[in-house]
Structure 1
Amino acid sequence: MSPQLALLVNPAARGGRTLPLLEPVVRRLRAGGAEVSVIVGADAADALERACTAVAEHPDALVAFGGDGLVHLAVQAVAGTDVPLGIIPAGTGNDIATALGVPRRDPMAAARAVLRMRSRTVDAADVSAGGGEELFAGVVCCGFDSRVNERANRLTWPPGMAKYLVAVAEELRGFRPIPFRITLDGVPSEREAMLVAVANTHSYGAGMRVCPDARPDDGLLDVMVLGAVGKGEFLRVFPRVYRGTHVTHPAVSITRVRSVRLEAPDVVAYADGERVGPGPVSCEVRPGALRVLV
């Protein structure tokens, strides 16, 4: 029987540069016997509404053609249902796809993985901040990195990833360690930190291996805290996150928990690269909430 696939598309992924791959991907899926309906929303809210409507019609899979932001949106639609999530990476980072074993640089290979319809069960997690509540599959960031996101989102120039480099330089100029109250599985502590990351998978931000040993199917969240360090030391430590070797630094700690609450002044949470809202921030794992085609 032909699989019924709802293909959720972000036409703006990578500035629209991956859109020419959409037609070949659809052709490949249909050549493999799938019946494909394409979903494109006018904006994120419209795309989510359309995705939820599609899932309610019980397709064999909801397939996200885009980056981590679109995967994040798709997770809201499929979590807790019997509809699996397929991913065809077409974004800049594709960290969630990488963590789940989906080919991140080969859309046709990812399409073949979807057609095999082999799924694994993984965790998701709830995150709430500033009155907003949603799910995430990858990483929640809170601190220096989320402030960089806030600053970059206000910039109109330069385009693309370059604006994040500008935002890093501008944010670092006046940045001071943030006083956090961190509650892990109900046990509170207070400390100054540069940033806190809550991870279901191991990386975010296009390959930053913030919690290199995080597993998406262990029923736990990895919480990484980079404590207060000087700016010079921060500039030495932070690039090590791309190799995952930052974890050996004495200012870094990683703890595995089921729930976490973060309280700090002027902090905004981002989940899978998407803005959730200002703190306080609460996260709780939902074991086995997702089925993913891999």
Structure 2
Amino acid sequence: MRQFTAIVNPTAGGSASAAALLKVARLLREAGAGLETAYSRSLAHARELALHAGQQGRVVLAVGGDGMAGGIGGALSGTDTLLGLVPAGRGNDFARALNLPTEPDALAQVLLHHEPRKVDTIEVESAVHQRTVVLGSVYAGVDALANRHANNATLLRGAASYYAGGLRAVTTWRPARYRVTVDGQEHLHTGYTVVAANSGYYGSGRLIAPDARLDDGLLDVVMIREAPRRLFFALMNELKTGGHVHRPQVRILRGREIRIAADREVPYGADGEVEATLPVTVRVLPAALRVLS
């Protein structure tokens, strides 16, 4: 029977995380599994707790949203430690890409009985973040600005905070001139964003890269070109289904190493947490993480 260590940040969405864990924890214990809970003071501390639990041969449960999943999953990338997710955040996009069930009974069955799956991770390097590893995507442009607004929102939660953040970001955004290098080949791009996607989802369920796969050893590079704001709002709405990829303003490439630079200060983010400015280099790490799904 598997032995679990659940890692929770009590200050970042703590009540939702505690509630989600409580339901699953009872089911795991009733099935005979061991479960201990570790409380983190920060994302860096959560990574330390995850590595320590992994060294003890325990399954690490990341309890929270994409920031917690990405931080802990990134720390465990390249190790043999098994990762499980208890989604309890605003976006839960990596859990969505894994097709994890939302009902506690079904999620407990996944954690108890499913075989591990190997998935890719993303290595991120920049002048600010010398090296970090994330799970879902790295995005540079208006979406990074929107995510910053969503993270700072106090009155809205979930998809509503992302939508409001997006509206605020788009109304102030002016297109940037990007240099995007994919496996050594440079592409010039003027527009709203460049996304290097391992997971198809970001921004609380938006299907930015419909053909992205977690285990294909490639990143899907989605570039949205300059367009009138009215058209961009229509395109944003199409992100719900992935229909935006048929627009001529959207270009998709694939590669293993992507460098993104711009002609001015452009923010980038990763898994809802890493915030810095371009340039940034990202690389896929194939089959680097064992996860339950």
Q: CA RMSD, aligned part only?
A: 1.8
Structure 2 Cα separation of the partners of residues 229 and 63 of structure 1: 42
Distance apart, 1:58 and its partner CA: 2.2
Indicate the residue corresponding to 1:221 in structure 2: 219
Gaps of 5+ in 1: none
CA-CA distance at 1:76 after TM superposition: 2.4
1:293 — aligned with what?
292
Task: Tell me, in whole angstroms, the C-alpha distance in 2 between the residues paired with 1:163 and 1:24.
Answer: 26
Q: SS at 1:288's partner residue?
A: strand
Partner of 1:131: 128
CA distance in 2 between counterparts of 1:206 and 1:15 reads: 19
Aligned to 2:268: 269
Identity percentage over the alignment?
A: 36
Partner of 2:43: 44
Q: What amino acid is the match of 2:240?
A: Y
How far the C-alpha of 1:200 sits from its partner, in A, is 0.5
Q: Partner of 1:199 in structure 2?
A: 197
- 1:41 is displaced (CA, Å) by 0.6
* Rounded Cα–Cα distance in structure 1 between residues aligned with 2:270 and 2:45: 19
Listed as ranges, the gaps of 5+ residues in structure 2 are: none
The letter of the residue matching 2:119 is: V
Shift, 1:213, TM fit: 0.8
Residue deviations 1:179-200 (CA, integer Å, cap 9, x gap)? 0011010111222021111110
Partner of 2:118: 121
Distance in structure 2 (CA, Å) of the matches to 1:165 and 1:209: 14
Aligned residues: 290
- Counterpart of 1:242 in 2: which secondary structure? coil
Structure 1 residue 15 displacement after superposition: 6.1
Provide the residue aligned with 1:86 in structure 2.
84
Contact 2:74 2:135 in 1 (8 A): no
How far apart in 2 are the matches of 1:207 and 1:290? 22
Structure 1 position 30 matched with structure 2 position 36: no
| Mapped contact 2:138–2:271 kept (Cα < 8 A) | yes
Aligned-pair CA distance for 1:8: 1.4
Q: How far apart are the structure 1 equivalents of 2:216 and 2:146?
A: 30
> For residue 146 of structure 2, what is the amino acid of its counterpart?
V
Judging changes above 3 Å, is the alpha-carbon distance between structure 1 residues 157 and 8 closer, same or farther for their aligned structure 2 residues? closer
Q: Is the 8 A contact 1:62 1:83 kept in 2?
A: yes
TM-score, normalised to structure 1, is 0.92
